Each structure stands twice: as structure tokens, then as C-alpha cells.
């Protein structure tokens, strides 16, 4: 059972456009949602995160929009750059300790110059 789902699987945008990556989850107990960025041959690295008490989180060109009622969130990458080309993972964790992350299957983003 896939508790965290991402769409699309792959996305191609032109340089300067806004890329929108979507994520949904099933477990209502999830309350922490980090997005990880992964380049080929590297491990995932934290990009930006949000807690379920918030509906928006911004960090430079990166913004998370969160809808708790619909169990959906999205990552917006404004003014996309070729260097943003990577795989993006939505993840989730809940209270109760252990800090275990449940990952989506990822979205491969390609930014064309």
C-alpha cells in the first residue's frame, strides 16, 4: 500500500517557468512533510519541509502548499533553473517517535535551458 503518492512521475519545464510537483497521503496521523532533492549518484538532501499546522512554507524559489483536509501538498519551484534538474521526493512522518519517513516514488524534473 502506497501511503504517499507523487505525480507526475516526470516533468519537463523550460528555464524560468514554475514547476509544480504534487503529493498526496493517506495516513491522517502524518504531520511532518519534508521534500528531498536527489541528484544522480548522491543521497537525498532536505530541500524544504512543512508541518501540518501550516498551509504554506516558502524558502527562496521553493514553496510548499499544504491542504490538510484533502491530504494533499505541492512543491512549487519558481523561475526553474537547469541546476534544479533532479529527482524530488515527498516524504511524511507522524508523531510517536522514531522519526521514520515514508517516501513517495519521486518526480524526475528536467529543466530545459
Q: Which is nearer to other proteins, 14 or 29 (CB)?
A: 29
Cell numbers at 23, concatenated: 503529493
- Applying the rule CB under 8 A, the residues between 49 and 108 that interact with other proteins are 49, 51, 89, 93, 95, 97-106
Whole-number minimum distance, CB 89 to other proteins, in Å?
Answer: 6
Q: Which residues of 29-56 are buried (b: 16+ CB within 10 A; e: fewer)?
A: ebeebbbbbbeeeeebeebbebebeeee
Contact letters for other proteins, residues 23-42 (x by CB under 8 A): ---------x-x-x----xx
Q: Which is nearer to other proteins, 83 or 98 (CB)?
A: 98
Residue entry with cell 504554506: 56
Q: Which is nearer to other proteins, 41 or 113 (CB)?
A: 41
- DSSP state letters, 37-97: EE-TTS--EEEEEEETT-SEEEETTEEEEEETTTTEEEEEESS--GGG-EEEEEEEB-SSS
Please pick, from the candidates 29, 45, 78, 112, the single residue that binds other proteins as defined by CB under 8 A: 45
Chain contacts with other proteins (rule: CB under 8 A)? 4, 6, 9, 32, 34, 36, 41-46, 49, 51, 89, 93, 95, 97-106
Amino acid at each position: 500500500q502506497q501511503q504517499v503518492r507523487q505525480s507526475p512521475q516526470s516533468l519537463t519545464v523550460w528555464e524560468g517557468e514554475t514547476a509544480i510537483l504534487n503529493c498526496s497521503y493517506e495516513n491522517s496521523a502524518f504531520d511532518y512533510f519534508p521534500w528531498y532533492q536527489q541528484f544522480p549518484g548522491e543521497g537525498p538532501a532536505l530541500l524544504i519541509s512543512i508541518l501540518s499546522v501550516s498551509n504554506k512554507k516558502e524558502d527562496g524559489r521553493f514553496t510548499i502548499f499544504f491542504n490538510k483536509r484533502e491530504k494533499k501538498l505541492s512543491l512549487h519551484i519558481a523561475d526553474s533553473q537547469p541546476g534544479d534538474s533532479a529527482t524530488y521526493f515527498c516524504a511524511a512522518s507522524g508523531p510517536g517517535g522514531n522519526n521514520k519517513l515514508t517516501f513517495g516514488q519521486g518526480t524526475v524534473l528536467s529543466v530545459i535551458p
